[in-house]
Amino acid sequence: MIDIRPFARLGFFKNEWLEAHHHFSFADYFDPARMGHGALRVWNDDRIRPDTGFPPHGHRDMEIVTFIREGAITHEDGLGNKGRTQAGDVQVMSAGKGIIHAEYNREAEDTLLFQIWIETARRSAEPRWETREFPHAERQGKLLALASGRKGDADALLIHQDAAVLGASLTAGQSLAHGLGSRLAYLVSTRAPITVNGALAQPRDGVAVSGEEAIAIEAMGSTEIVLVDVAG
């Protein structure tokens, strides 16, 4: 089953510094039919204005993965971590037994990002944060594990769950395949339409996949694909 979730129908929040589109129920947006997809609980498509951001706040027992689409984000937390993650790169925060953090756009331009929350399989773990560069060349034409708790993804940022966040860079007409077996997938194209097993999805639409042993993805223009692979 390929379920296309149009961008225009996602949950929406806007104030003077943040524009957020919610693929799943989050904050004041509630849809009982969209509470998650396997262990994937949150996928927010955020635009953060310059010199603004999320002030210090807390999380626990969640794996939080941030994929930067444009601009950059500066992270600060109560563990003393501080770092900048720029477009195309990824940061992971395992909230564990509890962490206070802040995320700021210190750039002169808007920052666009996907914030992805995956339910943890290891409660009350020690909290941690890490960021890493993932050059476009490494994921050109193929899905590369960016954050993962699966065996065999040793080069990915660690999360405590049988799940993976993967990324691929595709040009017009380029395609790739991804095996799922009995697993689930949720994916988004950033800049161009794609087809997933023949179903058309526009940029920033959500594509929820279940009951498909494999998916074939084809790009209709230059784009980035972000895909979450989780147990069913």
Position 154 scores a pLDDT of 87
| Secondary structure letter of residue 136 according to DSSP | G
Domain that holds residue 187: 2-230
Query: Is 79 in contact with 145 (CB distance < 8 Å)?
Result: no
pLDDT of residue 29: 97
User: What is the reported pLDDT for 232?
Assistant: 83
Residue that the structure tokens 């077996």 belong to:
181
Q: Are 117 and 42 in contact (CB under 8 A)?
A: yes
0.95 cut: is pTM over it? Answer: yes
CB-CB contact of 179 with 193 (8 Å): no
d(CA 32, CA 113): 25
What one-character-per-residue DSSP string does 178-215 give? EE-TT-EEEEEESSS-EEETTEEE-TT-EEEE-S-SEE
C-alpha distances (whole Å) from 231 to each of 7, 37, 57, 113, 163 are 25, 9, 30, 24, 7
The per-residue pLDDT string of the chain (232 residues; one tens digit each, 9 = 90 and over) reads 999 999 999 999 999 999 999 999 999 999 999 999 999 999 999 999 999 999 999 999 999 999 999 999 999 999 999 999 999 999 999 999 999 999 999 999 999 999 999 999 999 999 999 999 998 899 999 999 999 999 889 899 999 999 999 999 999 999 999 999 999 999 999 999 999 999 999 999 999 999 999 999 999 999 999 999 999 8
CATH of the domain at 22: 2.60.120.10
Structurally, the chain folds into a number of domains equal to 1
Q: What whole-number distance in Å separates Cα of residue 179 and Cα of residue 102?
A: 36
